[in-house]
Amino acid sequence: MSQRVSQGRQADLNFNVNRKILMFTGASGGHIMPALALRRYFPLAPIVAIRAGATEALLKDRENVVFIQPLAFKKLSIEALKDLFRAVLFALKFRSERILCFGSYLNAVGVFCARVSGAKLFFFEPNAVAGKGTALLSCFADKIFFMFQPRRKYKNSVLCKFPVSAGKPGRDEARSRLGLDPGKPLILILGGSQGSSFINDLVLRLLPRLGFAQIVHITGEADFMRVNAAYAAHKGKHLILPACHYMSILYSAADAAVSRAGAGTLADLAFYKIPSLLIPYPLAGAHQEKNADFFSDPPSAIIIRQAEVDEDKILTAIEDLVSDNFWKLKENLAKISLSDDGADLAAKLAA
């Protein structure tokens, strides 16, 4: 095992990496990426994941991964139920000491497996407003790990840092690997693991006015073809991707970002200290707006609610990110400690 993790890492840890940890993840990158980061400290920990485009892309070459078909509760399929049953059998045979759930209805599966096997049960809830799986099942968890101070009081809550990929190539090295200009401002456009049609359309309307910058744009699979075609008709050196599994290189290359406010993305932006314009997704209980509020005092990002968006306001904000407000936001970002390479969560999980 010592060959599968970086040299000397175990010597720095005050817990046993051989503890049997089992992780359940949902279908989005925000669930999967922290689980993968945590594997630095628990390299043999199996992952049970909902099969989807994002999970298959991120986990297809990984060891000890069990996929289950997504459950549509209005129309349950026999195959999905069989997959779920197989996942439960796998979890019970693995005889885990600890079960860690990263969200979705698999939290309920984790509760069942923990109760049957006697394993300790933990939820990881990175959002300021807990998801339904966490809120409804909170009484069954031994601990709930939060990145933000939760809005609701939980007797078993513990604050911890969000595990991120943590690779930090130099800015010039990252740009060279991406084939981008080392001297021109670089703006990273993000919409979460599924992309954001709203942000995609907004940036395309502004594209003729963004000649001062080069852009790396993560579109999401659904919008890639049309967004890529729009950039092809626009002069400039840009990189358009439907998704990306080497985000540490993009973050290291970027000067600024325009993004939604999912917890995983915010953890990355804080870790890489990237000044950002945040346009939180307004639905799903407005949890992204609550997430973004963390960056408002002291101002560590420019935050514009979707209902307040207009093109001139957004253009001014982007210009500020790469000029007037750049160093002020950088200074405030330096005071934020929301994320690390997984050490904090690993230590608290194993305690």
Sheet containing strand 214-218, edge to edge, reads: 239-241, 214-218, 186-189, 256-259, 276-278, 302-303
Which distant-in-sequence residues (6+ apart) come within 8 Å of 211 by Cβ?
Answer: 235, 236
Neighbour-count burial for 179-204, b at 16+ CB within 10 Å, e otherwise: ebeeeebbbbbbbbbbbbeebbebbb
Angstrom CA distances, 186 to 215, 252, 319, stand at 6, 11, 12
On the question of pLDDT at 75 being above 80, the answer is: no
- Show the domains of the chain with their CATH numbers: 10-159 (3.40.50.2000), 171-339 (3.40.50.2000)
The residue among 118 and 235 whose pLDDT is bigger is 118
pTM (two decimals) = 0.89
pLDDT (tens digit, 9 = 90+) per residue, 178-203?
A: 999 999 999 999 987 788 999 999 99
3-class DSSP string for 311-322: HHHHHHHHHHHC
Token pair of 10 as six digits: 């175990």
Angstrom CA distances, 282 to 87, 220, 285, 306, stand at 34, 18, 8, 7
pLDDT (tens digit, 9 = 90+) per residue, 286-309?
A: 889 999 999 998 899 999 999 999
Number of H helices, E strands in the chain: 14, 15
